[in-house]
């Protein structure tokens, strides 16, 4: 055994050299194992968000609000101060926190069932008031946590447990483009839609999160980062198939890129 250790040690040491380092978990992510299904975009966004918080050096100044949805246990993973909110109420809770402690950096982390259904009113009014928050909106087109019911964001024709024949827009309405809707409001400073289905998109999502937090540091108003994501379990797909679904079905309807970009002054 000790011989084996001797053989292995130089290799281990080499692997730890900076030039061999491929990835390092940010110190802002706790060591708690994610409960998310394999391939779920929530894990990627958690990781990116905590990388940004760590790189910006704002861990002690950041407060997150996570309501109900698959990310209900976000407080187990995100190593910043976290507050749980009732389903749909994240923007209302975050408004209170930010107004009491305006020097803190406050974000919400909300699913599409949460933000675009039960919490639409809170979100629209917080945006319209220009609350100085970063809202992170995970649009996977479905109610993930409760086994795949139709969300306002589900695509036309999409089969879900509550639309077994496919979403019929005549009776169930059209998929709701929250980002475009909020971008019209004067209190909203920055709106972007990104995705985490490819390495390139992951990098762009990280940049968008960083911009959202930096704008908040400067008190510039309401920022929304929508992330088009996947739900392999409820789509009954492998992680790879669900990423193809994002690329071929979701992104054509929810095009990626900045929707409201601050003017360069």
**Binding residues for ligand TPP (CB under 6 A):** 68-71, 87, 111-114, 118, 138, 140, 142-146, 151
What does the alpha-carbon distance between residue 46 and residue 169 come to, in Å, rounded to a whole number? 33
Show contacts with Mg ion in window 121-140 (CB under 5 A): 140
Cα–Cα distance measured from residue 62 to residue 50, given in angstroms and rounded to the nearest whole number: 10
Residue 232 engages ligand SF4 in binding (rule: CB under 6 A): yes
Q: Closest CB to ligand SF4 among 37 and 118?
A: 37
Which of 68, 183 has the CB closer to ligand TPP? 68
Cβ atoms within 10 Å of 57's Cβ, excluding its own: 8
257-260/188-195 β-pairing: antiparallel
Q: How far is CA 45 from CA 49, 51, 207, 225, 257, in A?
A: 6, 10, 12, 11, 17
Q: Which residue has the tokens 């220009």?
A: 130
CB nearer to ligand TPP: pick between 51 and 112: 112
Q: Please pick, from the candidates 154, 197, 205, 234, the single residue that binds ligand SF4 as defined by CB under 6 A.
A: 234
Among 166, 142, 149, 220, residue whose Cα is nearest residue 188: 220
For ligand SF4, which residue of 231, 246, 250, 256 counts as binding (CB under 6 A)?
231
- Interface with ligand SF4 in residues 150-209 (CB under 6 A): none
**Three-state secondary structure call for residue 26:** coil
Establish if 144 lies at the interface with Mg ion (CB under 5 A): yes
Judged by CB, which is closer to ligand TPP: 39, or 113? Answer: 113
What is the x/- site pattern for ligand SF4, positions 118-147, by CB under 6 A? Answer: ----------------------x---xx--
8 Å CB contact between 228 and 139:
yes
Chain residues in the site for ligand SF4 (CB under 6 A)? 36-37, 40, 42, 70, 140, 144-145, 231-234
């Amino acid at each position: 055994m000790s011989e084996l250790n001797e053989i292995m040690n130089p290799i281990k040491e080499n692997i730890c050299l900076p030039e061999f380092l491929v990835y390092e978990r940010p110190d802002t992510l706790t060591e708690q194992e994610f409960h998310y299904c394999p391939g779920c975009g929530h894990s990627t966004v958690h990781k990116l968000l905590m990388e940004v918080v760590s790189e910006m050096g704002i861990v002690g100044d950041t407060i997150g609000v996570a309501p109900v949805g698959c990310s209900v246990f976000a407080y187990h993973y995100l190593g910043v101060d976290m507050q749980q909110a009732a389903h749909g109420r994240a923007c209302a809770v975050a408004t209170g926190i930010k107004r009491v402690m305006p020097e803190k950096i406050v974000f919400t982390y909300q699913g599409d069932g949460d933000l675009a259904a039960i919490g639409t009113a809170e979100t629209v009014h917080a945006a319209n008031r220009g609350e100085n928050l970063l809202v992170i909106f995970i649009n996977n087109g479905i109610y993930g946590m409760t086994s795949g019911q139709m969300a306002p964001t589900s695509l036309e024709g999409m089969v879900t447990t509550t639309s077994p024949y496919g979403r019929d827009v005549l009776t169930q309405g059209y998929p709701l483009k929250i980002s475009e809707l909020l971008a019209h409001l004067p209190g909203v400073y920055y709106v972007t839609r990104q995705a985490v289905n490819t390495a390139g998109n992951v990098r762009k999502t990280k940049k968008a999160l960083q911009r959202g937090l930096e704008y908040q540091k400067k008190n510039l108003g309401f920022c929304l980062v929508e992330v088009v994501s996947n739900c392999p379990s409820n789509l009954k797909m492998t992680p790879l198939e669900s990423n193809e679904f994002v690329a071929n079905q979701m992104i054509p309807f929810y095009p990626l890129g900045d929707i409201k970009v601050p003017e360069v002054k």
